[in-house]
Amino acid sequence: MISIQGLNKNYGKTQALHDVNLDLQPGKIIGLCGPNGSGKTTLIKILNGLLNDYQGNIRIDGQEVGAHSKALISYLPDQTYLAGWMTGEKAIYLFKDMYSDFDESRMRELLLKLKLDSKQAIKTMSKGMKEKFQLALVMSRKASIYILDEPIGGVDPAARELILTTILENYNPNSILLISTHLISDIESIFDSVIFLKEGEVMLHEDVDTLRDMHGKSVDELFREVFKC
């Protein structure tokens, strides 16, 4: 479904991604793990068509990154992208207008579950509320690929559980769910496989239960070993 071959990306003299090769299959929840600056967000931006000056070959559902792939992917960026003046209602209206796979009734259910008020302006929401609101928007699309960039980064541990439940309850089991994170221990139980990214290179891409079996360690512990300073 997503095939990446020989992907390289530089920011000036800095190499952000180095010869990345990945093959991601539908029906899997994949953790994209790496410390800050390892290239996670760069890779995600490339998959979403937000960065075009890269070398290599990417195929999403058999096609190059473009209008087709953008329609397939429901993307949660690592930063707020909704304008502050906008109310939640306005954002819902925009999503309905932009994405034919947006399910408004699911969005309404999620607002209730996450205790969010859509009449509120985005700028008056707390950081945690903004994150939950954007996650609700993204999970309300019936997409074939979900890419979530640090979905639990800004919320407290109690809210993390709620967010994980929201993801598990709402993702389409036949889709690809790619989740970037550096908070591995909070989320590793929902992964099928993990990708470790170190200084722009793929160190490992493996089934999580295979890793636990092979090393007798949690993915979080392995991560700490691979990325020890």
Q: How far apart are CA 61 and CA 34, in angstroms?
A: 26
Count of chain residues binding another protein (CB under 8 A): 26
Using the rule CB under 8 A, is 155 a contact of another protein? no
For residue 225, state whether it binds another protein (rule: CB under 8 A).
no
Radius of gyration over every alpha carbon of the chain, rounded to an integer in angstroms: 17
List Cα–Cα distances, 43 to 92, 95, 183, 190, 197, in angstroms. 27, 24, 18, 21, 10
Residue whose CB is less far from another protein, 71 or 162: 162
**Owner of token pair 């302006």:** 121
Q: Find the binder of another protein among 21, 57, 66, 168 (CB under 8 A).
A: 168
109 binds another protein (CB under 8 A): no
Nearer to another protein, 50 or 164 (CB): 164
Interface characters, 14-53, with another protein (x: CB under 8 A)? -------------xxx------------------------
Q: Which of 57, 63, 124, 185 binds another protein (CB under 8 A)?
A: 185
- The reply to whether 165 sits near another protein by the rule CB under 8 A is yes
Q: Is the dihedral of CA 81, 84, 88, 93 positive or negative?
A: negative
| Gap between the Cα atoms of 162 and 147, Å rounded | 18
**Closer to another protein at the Cβ: 28 or 142?**
28
With contacts defined by CB under 8 A, name the span among 52-60, 68-76, 109-117, 216-224 that binds another protein.
Answer: 216-224
| In the complex, least distance from residue 168 CB atom to another protein, rounded to whole angstroms | 6
DSSP secondary structure, 57-120, as one string: EEEETTB-SSHHHHHHEEEE-SS--S-TT-BHHHHHHHHHHH-TTB-HHHHHHHHHHTT--TTS
